[in-house]
């Protein structure tokens, strides 16, 4: 009886699937090296933070990796848990102008190839930051496991270049014990959520609490986060952002503060034109991958040409 090509491919698919399951059980088999970077330390409780992952295929064969990230956490409090985001961040956004509406689920890395995957704060899905266990003061050791999107083998047929999940290095992260006005804000944040504050709460925090931070706790290091994660408009907001840039030069969200300052000043009057150009230059000079992906999109691929008769921006 002649064996058809489809039968051969089905058998190969099953073999690869079993290899994937075995890899998950016994440890990483993929040759891809993944390096996690968390650029900021000494973070306040309850705030999100930038991350990016540099992946490198040092082998002489093409390797495919999954783009569903699991955050693996151990804490100094003795907890160990894995965060599976219900709305996973888009680690590799589609190039500007792409007609594809979904999210890339796999990344193919040719021999020697490198790619940076980004998890910027304040953009897109909540991702890992919906988990309140990431909020309290204390020490955390984190890594990210890049795997296939959930759904099982019924929805995921691994290609021959798939060798299982890839896990990054471990990174130490410390959240400081707040004091002074920072402690007062942290207490109010917990009161607001009845003790269940998660970093995602910045996206749903009431304007009343935002106003309270600005008016009652203006010296708090939470002010830059309130400005970055709850953008505003008008002269008062512009002045508040420019003031924060002066008073909090070392905030972990300094680059994003420059971004929101630039955006707030973009359509301002001529008085703010000089400040706008200054902020534009600072933003353009950024080398942080998470800032650049947020502001400029994918820069590692050429922009698609504007279709004829379409009204595209330059």
- Taking the C-alpha atoms of residue 88 and residue 150, their distance in angstroms, rounded to an integer, is 11
Reported residue count of the chain is 314
Measured in whole angstroms, the distance separating CA 214 from the mean position of its chain's CA atoms is: 26
Please say whether the beta carbons of 97 and 303 come within 8 A.
Answer: yes
273-282 long-range contacts (CB < 8 A, ≥24 apart) are 275/242, 282/258
- pLDDT tens digits for range 36-73: 999 998 999 999 999 999 999 999 999 999 999 999 99
| Model pLDDT, residue 4 | 53
- pLDDT tens digits for range 195-215: 999 988 887 777 788 889 999
| Model pLDDT, residue 19 | 41
Measured in whole angstroms, the distance separating CA 80 from the mean position of its chain's CA atoms is: 21
| Model pLDDT, residue 177 | 97
Among the CATH numbers 3.90.230.10, 2.60.40.1470, 3.30.360.10, 3.40.50.1000, which is that of 22-175? 2.60.40.1470
Could you give the 3-state DSSP secondary structure of residue 94?
coil
Q: Dump the DSSP string for 81-128.
A: EEE--SS---SSPPPTT----S---EEEE-TT-EEEEEE-TTSS--GG
Buried-exposed string 283-298: b where 16+ CB fall within 10 A, e elsewhere: beebebbbbbbbbeeb
| Model pLDDT, residue 100 | 59
Domain with CATH 2.60.40.1470 in the chain: 22-175
Tell me phi and psi for residue 106, to 5 degrees: -135, 150
| Model pLDDT, residue 155 | 65
- pLDDT tens digits for range 108-136: 999 999 999 999 886 556 788 989 999 99
Cβ count near 115 (within 10 Å): 17
- Taking the C-alpha atoms of residue 237 and residue 241, their distance in angstroms, rounded to an integer, is 6
Q: Which residues are CB-contacts of 260 (< 8 A; sequence separation ≥ 6)?
A: 227, 228, 231, 241
Could you give the 3-state DSSP secondary structure of residue 306?
coil
- Residue ranges for the chain with pLDDT beneath 50: 1-3, 5-26, 314
CA atoms within 13 A on the CB side of 189: 30
Tell me phi and psi for residue 80, to 5 degrees: -140, 125
């Amino acid at each position: 009886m002649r064996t058809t090509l489809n039968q051969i491919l089905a058998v190969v698919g099953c073999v690869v699937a079993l290899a994937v399951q075995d890899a998950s059980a016994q440890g990483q088999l993929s040759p891809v090296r993944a390096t996690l970077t968390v650029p900021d330390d000494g973070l306040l409780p309850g705030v999100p933070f930038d991350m990016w992952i540099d992946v490198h295929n040092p082998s002489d064969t093409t390797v495919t990796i999954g783009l569903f990230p699991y955050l693996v956490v151990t804490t100094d409090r003795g907890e160990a848990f894995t965060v599976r985001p219900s709305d996973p961040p888009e680690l590799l956004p589609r190039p500007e102008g792409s007609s594809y509406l979904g999210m890339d689920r796999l990344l193919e890395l040719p021999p020697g190839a490198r790619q940076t995957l980004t998890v910027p704060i304040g953009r897109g899905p909540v991702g890992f930051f919906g988990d309140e266990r990431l909020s309290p003061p204390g020490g955390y050791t984190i890594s990210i496991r890049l795997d296939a999107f959930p759904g099982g083998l019924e929805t995921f047929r691994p290609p021959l270049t798939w060798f299982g999940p890839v896990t990054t290095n471990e990174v130490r992260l410390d959240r400081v014990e707040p004091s002074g006005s920072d402690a007062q804000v942290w207490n109010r944040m917990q009161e607001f959520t009845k003790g269940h504050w998660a970093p995602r709460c910045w996206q749903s925090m009431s304007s009343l609490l935002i106003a309270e931070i600005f008016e009652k706790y203006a010296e708090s290091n939470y002010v830059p986060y309130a400005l970055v994660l709850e953008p505003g408009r008008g002269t008062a907001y512009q002045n508040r952002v420019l003031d924060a840039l002066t008073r909090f030069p070392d905030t972990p969200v300094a680059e994003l503060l420059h971004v929101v300052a630039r955006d707030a000043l973009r359509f301002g009057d001529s008085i703010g034109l000089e400040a706008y150009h200054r902020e534009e230059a600072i933003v353009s000079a950024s080398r942080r991958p998470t800032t650049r992906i947020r502001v400029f999109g994918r820069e590692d691929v050429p922009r698609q040409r504007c279709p004829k008769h379409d009204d595209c921006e330059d």
